[in-house]
Amino acid sequence: MMEDEELEFVEDLEAILHLTPEVQLAIEQVFPSQDPLDRADFNAVEYINTLFPTEQSLANIDEVVNNIRLKIRRLDDNIRTVVRGQTNVGQDGRQVKEITRDIKQLDHAKRHLTTSITTLNHLHMLAGGVDSLEAMTRKRQYGEVANLLQGVVNVLEHFQKYMGIPQIRQLSERVKAAQSELGTQILADFEETFPAQGSKKSGGPSIVLRDACLVANVLDPRIKQEIIKKFIRQHLSEYLVLFQENQDVAWLDKIDRRYAWIKRQLVDYEEKYGRMFPEEWCMTERIAVEFCHITRTELAKLMRTRAREIEVKLLLFAIQRTTNFEGLLAKRFSGCTLNNGPGKKPETPLEPTNPFLEDESGEDNVSEKDEDLDRPKKPKAPDNPFHGIVSKCFEPHLYVYIESQDKNLGELIDRFVADFRAQGPPKSGTDEGGAVLPSCADLFVYYKKCMVQCSQLSTGEPMIALTTIFQKYLREYAWKILSGNLPKTSTNSGGLTISSLLKEKEGSEVAKFTMEELCLICSILSTAEYCLATTQQLEEKLKEKVDKSLMERINLTGEMDTFSTVISNSIQLLVQDLDAACDPALTAMSKMPWQSVEHVGDQSPYVTSVIMHIKQNVPIIRDNLASTRKYFTQFCIKFTNSFIPKFINHLFRCKPISMVGAEWEPYVHSRPLNI
């Protein structure tokens, strides 16, 4: 019974002393020990075996037991000391807490005392500052007022929570009254020096007004705005008189004089008044911006009145001069007085043969030289914050430009048609065969020029109107130049007779396209492919140029489908031509008296005819479609898909074949066709 109780006690003790690995690791880090008794995985049997490895070692068992008992007593003493030491912890904690409370009270007292002294100093400064401010205001000592007023305002902010005190509220009201009086006084001084009506005074700016501007920086922002507004209005009053609507210099043909006038005025301002206004006011830029707003309004009013007199050349001249002036403003000023919109996304690279790839500021060449392809591109210039600030007034009249481009493109298409008729199709055996028609490149170069020019005029509705014009003439080019010049298939059904095939004639009677016509079809196909790829690039460029809100309205999918149709028709013509050339041979094959064949020859006549036509057409098509291999592959696939079913169909139509005739054909078909 005693042994059972001891075992239960040991098991309970082990359960109590079992700690989690995290806790055991923390204990080992705080109390490192090499004693096996302190290990978490302590094994009593192993420990005893370590102490008494042999029977002879049991002789000193009493000594080991005594050492262990001594160690237990030391642990009991340590535990007892720790437990007794905890009895005074509560009392010591209460004493510390009382000391901490006293220290906190002293800290609060010190803080309140410091705040009181600081507040009294501020109050003294505020009272003295208000008195000085009122005296300086009466004497117009703006230089001293500028520094003092800012200090008074800053000090007054410390008393916002004390406005319930009558003395503080009275000082605040005196400061507001002084600010109001200063504003009225400064505006009166500027009005006296720069009257709204009449010419400017001959004398230069006074130091008083320069200091007054510094005071205005501290006053209500409306005072500063009023000063700027009145000064600019007075400074530009002469402009409104010189360029009135009834003046000859006001019309578009003399628009340069407007910009020359403001340039002189800005130079005059810098010399006379540049130091009067603070630099952060950006007065020079403000004058230029206000001039632009006035000019845009006046030009818009004038063009509405004289809309019938606006011609394309005159409109483009005025726009060019205006955009040049806006560019000069961008070089001179930062645009800090304007609300700038987000910049356009960088332009993406295009195909080397695409005119829309080239630098828009350079010449409109169709392709670049090879050595130019690796040349580093110029970094894109930052957006002009002044773009459209004046030139926007021309946008309602850009229909004149759009109508002009419509007319020019119509004449260009007519010239392409006339040139094609005069020059004729590409000659066989020359480099022209299969090449892209020059008129195609000319068309897209002109498109690029129009797009760049229109985007400089407007990125809004005029760009949409120009896109509609582009779509119109892309379709006309596809039908008039490309589809309209595709050779027509012959309806003549004349072909080889059975007797001629049997005599192995060359089949000159077969109606088929000439070599020149085959070259022309390949050229039209290559041109349509170029137009398809370049139209896609044109659509992307137009979307980059137009306003983001209008991007969805630009869609050239219909025009790209038109060029795809031209490509499909061209391939179909090539297939039909070769297919039709082989038809007489297949017909002769089906009507051949195979049952009466008695001798096996080298090759049957119909095979000779088919091979002859394939060898005539396919190399020409292959060479002329060298730059568009995928369409040559399509031609081969379509011809195969058309010829093989037809060949099999004619095989079924053949009359009964003799044994000799059956031996002839496998020999023929096993021979390779070298093209």
Nearest by Cα to 413 from 475, 488, 483: 475
pLDDT over 90 at 631, yes or no? no
Rounded alpha-carbon distances, angstroms, from residue 289 to 196, 292, 390, 594, 654: 19, 5, 9, 96, 90
Torsion of CA 400, 402, 403, 404, to 10 degrees: 80
The CA distance from 416 to 413, in Å, is 5
The CA distance from 265 to 581, in Å, is 82
Examine residue 315 and state whether it is found in any structural domain, yes or no: no
- CATH number of the domain within which 481 lies: 1.10.357.50
**Residue, of 160 and 431, whose pLDDT is higher:** 160
The model's pLDDT over 264-284, given as tens digits with 9 standing for 90+, comes to 888 888 888 777 888 888 888
Torsion of CA 127, 130, 135, 138, to 10 degrees: -160
What's the whole-number mean pLDDT along residues 191-197? 69
pLDDT of residue 259: 92
- The structure tokens 């066989």 sit at 428
558 pLDDT tier (thresholds 50, 70, 90): very high
pLDDT of residue 457: 78
What's the whole-number mean pLDDT along residues 120-148? 67
Nearest by Cα to 620 from 518, 524, 520: 518
Query: Domain count of the chain?
Result: 3
The domain boundary residue, chosen from 547, 577, 607: 577
pLDDT of residue 98: 73
Token pair of 469, please?
């014009």
Rounded alpha-carbon distances, angstroms, from residue 539 to 404, 410, 489, 543, 631: 22, 21, 35, 6, 24
Shared-domain flag, residues 547 and 573: yes
613 pLDDT tier (thresholds 50, 70, 90): confident
The CA distance from 525 to 486, in Å, is 10
The CA distance from 547 to 330, in Å, is 21
Nearest by Cα to 74 from 110, 35, 39: 35
Torsion of CA 227, 228, 233, 235, to 10 degrees: 100
154 pLDDT tier (thresholds 50, 70, 90): low
pLDDT over 70 for what percent of the chain? 69
pLDDT of residue 129: 65
The domain boundary residue, chosen from 577, 598, 624: 577
* Residue 566 burial by Cβ neighbours in a 10 Å radius (0-12, 13-18, 19+): buried
pLDDT of residue 561: 93
pLDDT of residue 532: 92
Shared-domain flag, residues 432 and 525: yes
The CA distance from 484 to 437, in Å, is 14
8 pLDDT tier (thresholds 50, 70, 90): low
Shared-domain flag, residues 155 and 53: yes
- Helix, strand and coil in the chain, % to nearest 5: 75, 0, 25
- The structure tokens 């603070």 sit at 278
**Residue, of 249 and 121, whose pLDDT is higher:** 249
pLDDT over 90 at 639, yes or no? no
pLDDT over 90 at 244, yes or no? no
pLDDT of residue 368: 39
Examine residue 670 and state whether it is found in any structural domain, yes or no: no
593 pLDDT tier (thresholds 50, 70, 90): low
pLDDT over 60 at 573, yes or no? yes
Shared-domain flag, residues 552 and 659: no
End-to-end CA distance of the chain: 111
Token pair of 463, please?
């760009």
What's the whole-number mean pLDDT along residues 526-542? 91
The model's pLDDT over 41-70, given as tens digits with 9 standing for 90+, comes to 777 777 777 777 777 777 777 787 788 888
DSSP tag of 495 = -
> Hey, which of 55-59, 190-194, 198-202, 568-572 has the most confident mean pLDDT?
568-572
The CA distance from 123 to 576, in Å, is 104
Count Cβ neighbours within 10 Å for each residue of 244-255 and write b for 16 or more, e otherwise.
eeeeeebbbeeb
536 pLDDT tier (thresholds 50, 70, 90): very high
537 pLDDT tier (thresholds 50, 70, 90): very high
What's the whole-number mean pLDDT along residues 630-647? 83
Examine residue 316 and state whether it is found in any structural domain, yes or no: no
**Residue, of 184 and 346, whose pLDDT is higher:** 184
Shared-domain flag, residues 533 and 605: no
The CA distance from 75 to 71, in Å, is 6
Shared-domain flag, residues 528 and 617: no
Token pair of 50, please?
């370590």
Name the amino acid, one letter, at 566. Answer: V
Examine residue 602 and state whether it is found in any structural domain, yes or no: yes
Query: Rg of the chain's alpha carbons, rounded to an integer?
Result: 50
18-21 long-range Cβ contacts below 8 angstroms, 24+ apart: none
Torsion of CA 64, 68, 71, 77, to 10 degrees: -140
Nearest by Cα to 399 from 302, 320, 468, 325: 468
Rounded alpha-carbon distances, angstroms, from residue 653 to 48, 502, 597, 640: 109, 18, 17, 20
pLDDT over 70 at 213, yes or no? yes
Token pair of 423, please?
């020059």
Lowest-pLDDT range of 143-157, 462-476, 502-516, 539-553: 502-516
Residue 575 CB: number of other CB atoms within 10 A?
22
Residue 583 CB: number of other CB atoms within 10 A?
18
123 pLDDT tier (thresholds 50, 70, 90): low
The half-sphere exposure of 286 on its side-chain side, counting CA atoms within 13 A, is: 19
Examine residue 336 and state whether it is found in any structural domain, yes or no: no
Shared-domain flag, residues 528 and 625: no
Examine residue 637 and state whether it is found in any structural domain, yes or no: yes
The H or E element containing residue 651 is helix 629-653
Nearest by Cα to 625 from 483, 531, 519: 519
pLDDT of residue 668: 42
Rounded alpha-carbon distances, angstroms, from residue 611 to 579, 583, 604, 606, 675: 12, 12, 11, 9, 9
What's the whole-number mean pLDDT along residues 562-578? 88
Token pair of 649, please?
């169909």
State the alpha helices, DSSP H only, in 308-458.
Answer: 312-332, 370-373, 399-423, 438-457
Rounded alpha-carbon distances, angstroms, from residue 573 to 483, 520, 576, 578: 11, 11, 5, 9
pTM: 0.58
What's the whole-number mean pLDDT along residues 499-513? 47
State the alpha helices, DSSP H only, in 546-628.
Answer: 557-591, 605-624
Examine residue 254 and state whether it is found in any structural domain, yes or no: no
Examine residue 345 and state whether it is found in any structural domain, yes or no: no
Token pair of 455, please?
């985007």
For 542, residues 6+ apart whose C-beta sits below 8 A from its C-beta are 451, 463, 467, 470, 554, 556
pLDDT over 80 at 167, yes or no? no
Torsion angles phi and psi, residue 207, rounded to 5: -65, -30
Shared-domain flag, residues 640 and 527: no
Shared-domain flag, residues 567 and 629: no
Shared-domain flag, residues 170 and 81: yes
336 pLDDT tier (thresholds 50, 70, 90): confident
Residue 426 near residue 435 (C-beta atoms within 8 A): yes
The model's pLDDT over 269-327, given as tens digits with 9 standing for 90+, comes to 888 877 788 888 888 899 999 999 999 999 999 999 888 888 888 988 998 899 889 88
Shared-domain flag, residues 553 and 584: no
Instruction: Transcribe 234-262 into DSSP letters.
Output: HHTHHHHHHT-TTSGGGSGGGHHHHHHHH
**Residue, of 638 and 506, whose pLDDT is higher:** 638
Nearest by Cα to 367 from 434, 449, 445, 439: 445
Shared-domain flag, residues 639 and 544: no
Lowest-pLDDT range of 485-489, 539-543, 581-585: 581-585
Average pLDDT, the chain: 74
531 pLDDT tier (thresholds 50, 70, 90): very high
> Hey, which of 19-28, 211-220, 244-253 has the most confident mean pLDDT?
244-253
Phi-psi region of 91 (alpha: psi -120 to 50; beta: other; left: phi over 0): alpha
> Hey, which of 19-23, 586-590, 616-620, 665-669 has the most confident mean pLDDT?
616-620
The model's pLDDT over 355-386, given as tens digits with 9 standing for 90+, comes to 444 444 444 443 433 334 333 333 344 467 88
Nearest by Cα to 534 from 442, 630, 420, 402: 442
Residue 636's domain comprises: 579-665
DSSP tag of 489 = P
The domain boundary residue, chosen from 528, 550, 577: 577
What's the whole-number mean pLDDT along residues 237-251? 87
pLDDT of residue 585: 75
What's the whole-number mean pLDDT along residues 611-617? 79
The CA distance from 322 to 208, in Å, is 39
